[in-house]
Amino acid sequence: MAGCLQVVTTIDTKEHADAIGKKLLEKRLAACVQIEGPISSSYWWKGEMENAEEWRCIIKTTVEKYDEVERTVRSNHPYEEPEIVGLAITVGSSTYLKWIEDTLL
């Protein structure tokens, strides 16, 4: 197997989350996008502590597709510096991981 990833990003509205998810699926960069929220985020930004309501997108993809996933998220994201974190899936159901890879061929 080439390697599967979960890519996580957070965004300001469900509508923005849905739009990014749809774009990733249409371009066959994701086998699945799950949207959770709203969530409460607290973080430092430009020297100030911030709090925001956000939506989390969990994107199922492959290592091979990561760069294009990142470009697509970044170019469709309203934040100056969005969270875009790829987490390697080191273990999992072999049939599920094969489904991710086969879906993105």
For the chain, domain boundaries: 4-103
Among 63, 55, 49, 50, CA closest to 33: 55
Average pLDDT over residues 28-56: 98
The CATH class, in words, for 4-103 is alpha beta
pTM of the model: 0.95
Average pLDDT over residues 29-51: 98
pLDDT at site 95:
97
The C-alpha atoms of residue 57 and residue 22 are separated, in whole angstroms, by 11
Instruction: Report percent pLDDT > 90 for the chain.
Output: 97
